[in-house]
Amino acid sequence: MSLMKRNKWYKILLKEAEMYLKKAPKVSPVHKSDHLKRVWKRSEILCKSLNCDPDVMVAACLLHDLGRHHGLEIHGRKSAELAKPILERHNFPRDKIPKVLDAIAQHDYNFPPAERKSIESKILYDADKMDAFGTVGIYRHLLFIEAGRIRMNEVIPLLEKRWTGLTLIESRKIAKEDYEYTVNFFKSLQKELKEA
């Protein structure tokens, strides 16, 4: 049985995240519950192999983007601020709350990697960035292009930056095929658009 199905916090905190989306001031279309579930799925794999705390991990994964729904790109601290009362309201273990909040606060791309100390914060960072790879990653980038948040010629450098920024060897093993697939897709797309 997967950690997802065994972890009692999964349903509780996923429901909280989904309820938050209903009242959030500026919902990000690519950071909804489907994104949270994919981040947890990748984190679950890493959590098993790296012996991290599954309670901390599931809470960090499901609450890490609350601040994103305030229109913030750099949103880790805001997300941690919003996650704290949710965890306290549900009597999440008090000794684990600081670890959850640290992982959330440290998952932004501009947070200094050397300061990302806990295994949970490293896993959350990597699993979140890995959602840019694969078929869903392609879809997410196309939405960003359509929304005017990124230009086509910026996608491959961004993908490369995310790939080189992964902190764990285990993450690279999991993401390698999806990363290469995504880069090749955008190379082909750019070539065909130029030839048209």
Separation of alpha carbons 153 and 146, rounded Å: 13
Handedness of CA 109, 21, 85, 43 (dihedral sign): negative
Residue ranges, CATH 1.10.3210.10, the chain: 6-128
> What is the topology classification, in CATH, of domain 6-128?
Hypothetical protein af1432 (1.10.3210)
Whether the model pTM is above 0.75: yes
Could you read off the pLDDT tens digit of each residue along the chain, which spans 196 residues?
Answer: 455 445 789 999 999 999 999 999 999 888 999 999 999 999 999 999 999 999 999 999 999 999 999 988 899 999 999 999 999 999 999 999 999 999 999 999 999 999 999 999 999 999 999 999 999 999 999 999 998 989 999 999 999 999 999 999 999 999 999 999 999 999 999 999 988 7
For residue 196, give the 3-state DSSP assignment.
Answer: coil
